[in-house]
Amino acid sequence: MFARRFTTFLRSRRDRGPEQWRTASVELCHGLSAELAAGRTPAEALTRAAREVDFPDPPAMRAVLGAARDGGDVSAAMIAAAPERGGDGLRRLAACWQVSIRTGAALSVLVDRVGGTLRAAESHRHEVAAQLAGPRASARLLAALPLLGLLLAAALGMRPLHFLFGSPAGLACLLLGVSLDVCGLWWTNRLMTRAQET
């Protein structure tokens, strides 16, 4: 029971990291857009906007702020700071910064568009997660039904554990049942994960 709770806790922490990065990227785009609209330079706007955002990994963002303050390569620093999972927003913002520097395009317009796209993607991600909550709960319930069947058989005096552990046919049934149950859970989880990622 403890191992199961600990695994669930670790999985939620791992899954929360990308979500926090996506949220931080949306907030950074919103703050940067507001600062640019107030007439600040891109470097100053980024520094001020980043102060208001709660990044999951603040040391990674120090290099970005240092590059902005010292006139360094901000887009390269953003790409380096962006994590593999959840860092799409920061990579898009880096591309905006690069395009703005190379072509002279207005950074505020680019940041507004990226921010709108990130907000729409986040909204879609939450909607998909809400729609998958029902099938996920059904899969867990179906995985637990064999245990309920064992309890029901024991309550009726049928001694299912004696059959399962007391004969070769019972062991074969037990191994087959557990294997199918695990495969079903794995397959369902894989389908859910693929649906969320797309």
Q: What is the pLDDT of residue 59?
A: 87
pLDDT tens digits for range 102-129: 887 788 888 999 999 999 988 888 888 8
**Cα distance between residue 82 and residue 121, in whole Å:** 17
Whether the per-residue pLDDT at 140 is higher than 90: the answer is: no
Residue 100 contacts residue 106 (beta carbons within 8 Å): yes
Whether the per-residue pLDDT at 157 is higher than 80: the answer is: yes
Whether the per-residue pLDDT at 16 is higher than 90: the answer is: no
CA distances from 166 to 172, 173, 178 (A): 11, 12, 17
Whether the per-residue pLDDT at 198 is higher than 80: the answer is: no
**Cα distance between residue 138 and residue 144, in whole Å:** 10
Q: H helices of 54-198, where? A: 58-70, 74-81, 88-103, 107-155, 160-166, 168-197
pLDDT tens digits for range 22-50: 999 999 999 999 999 898 889 899 999 99
* pLDDT bucket at 175, cuts 50 / 70 / 90: very high
**Cα distance between residue 76 and residue 168, in whole Å:** 63
